C-alpha cells in the first residue's frame, strides 16, 4: 500500500518485482495465501486482495487469533483448503471479500464492478466497538451525509456523538464516521 497525495491509498502488487537484479517472485504471507492453489495466478491475487480488504476494514488480518500459535500456518492453511474463511457478515464489503475468497470473481474487473455496486453503502455501517474476541461490531446508519457527497476535504464534525471527517482524492470527498476507540487501536 502506498499513501498518495490528496489522502489516497493505492494498493500496489510488487509480487513480480526484484531488487537490484535479484530473484523475483511472490511473497504471500501465511494468512493471505491458499495453499491448494500453489501457483501464483489471477485467483491468488484476487484471494489476497480480499485479505487486504479485510485487514483495512477490520484492522486485523484474517484469522489473526492464530497469530500466537506455533502452527498458525498449518491451521490457517487447513481452514482455507476447507473453504472456511472469517465471518464478514457485519463487515463493510464483506460480500466482496467472500467473493474473493470463494473464487466467485474471475478477474479484478469483476471485483471492481462489485465494489462500484456497493459504492455509497460501505461507510454507512459505523464501527461501534471492538469486542473481546477481536471482532468489530457495527451499528446501522450514520445519521449523516451519504458517502460520495461532495464537500470540503478535511471538514470535521460530530453527528450523534461520533466524529466524522471528510476524506478525499482530488476533487471528490467522502464522509466517513469514526469511533475514536476503534481508530486509535
What is the pLDDT, as a whole number, of residue 133? Answer: 55
160 is a domain residue: no
pLDDT tens-digit series, residues 114-150: 988 877 555 433 444 445 555 544 444 333 333 333 3
Report phi then psi at 176, rounded to 5: -125, 140
Q: How far is CA 116 from CA 20, 112, 158, in A?
A: 38, 6, 27
How many CA within 13 A on the CB side of residue 59? 13
113 is a domain residue: yes
CA angle, residues 110, 176, 170, in degrees to nearest 5: 70
Find the domain containing 69 and state its range. Answer: 42-119
Beta-sheet pairing, 156-159 with 136-140: unpaired
Is the pTM above the cut of 0.85?
no
Q: Which of 77, 33, 80, 62 is nearest to 135 (CA)?
A: 62
Q: How many domains does the chain have?
A: 1
109 is a domain residue: yes
Instruction: Return d(Cα 100, Cα 42) in angstroms, integer.
Output: 11
Instruction: Return d(Cα 110, Cα 3) in angstroms, integer.
Output: 25
Residues 6+ apart with CB under 8 A from 41: none
Q: How far is CA 33 from CA 9, 43, 135, 167, in A?
A: 22, 10, 21, 31
8 is a domain residue: no
**Better-scored residue on pLDDT, 150 or 45:** 45
Instruction: Return d(Cα 106, Cα 53) in angstroms, integer.
Output: 17
Instruction: Return d(Cα 28, Cα 153) in angstroms, integer.
Output: 35
Question: What ranges make up the beta strands (E) of 22-154?
Answer: 125-130, 136-140
166 is a domain residue: no
> Which segment of 102-106, 154-158, 174-178 scores lowest on mean pLDDT?
174-178
Report phi then psi at 20, rounded to 5: 50, 40
64 is a domain residue: yes
84 is a domain residue: yes
Q: Between the ranges 16-25, 71-80, 129-138, 157-166, where is the mean pLDDT highest?
A: 71-80
79 is a domain residue: yes
Amino acid at each position: 500500500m502506498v499513501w498518495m497525495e490528496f489522502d489516497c491509498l493505492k494498493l500496489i502488487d510488487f509480487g513480480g518485482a526484484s531488487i537490484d537484479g535479484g530473484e523475483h517472485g511472490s511473497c504471500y504471507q501465511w494468512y493471505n495465501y491458499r495453499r491448494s492453489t500453489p501457483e501464483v495466478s489471477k485467483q491468488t491475487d484476487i484471494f489476497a486482495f480480499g485479505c487486504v480488504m479485510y485487514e483495512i476494514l477490520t484492522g486485523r488480518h484474517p484469522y489473526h487469533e492464530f497469530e500466537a500459535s506455533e502452527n498458525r500456518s498449518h491451521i490457517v492453511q487447513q481452514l482455507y483448503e476447507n473453504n472456511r474463511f472469517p465471518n464478514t457478515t457485519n463487515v463493510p464489503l464483506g460480500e466482496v471479500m467472500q467473493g474473493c475468497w470463494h473464487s466467485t470473481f474471475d478477474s479484478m474487473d469483476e471485483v471492481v464492478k462489485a465494489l462500484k455496486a456497493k459504492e455509497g453503502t460501505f461507510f454507512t455501517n459505523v464501527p461501534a466497538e471492538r469486542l473481546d474476541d477481536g471482532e468489530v461490531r457495527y451499528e446501522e446508519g450514520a445519521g449523516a451525509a451519504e458517502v460520495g457527497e461532495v464537500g470540503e476535504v478535511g471538514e470535521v464534525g460530530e453527528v450523534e456523538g461520533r466524529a466524522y471527517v471528510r476524506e478525499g482524492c482530488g476533487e471528490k470527498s467522502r464522509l466517513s464516521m469514526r469511533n475514536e476507540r476503534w481508530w486509535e487501536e
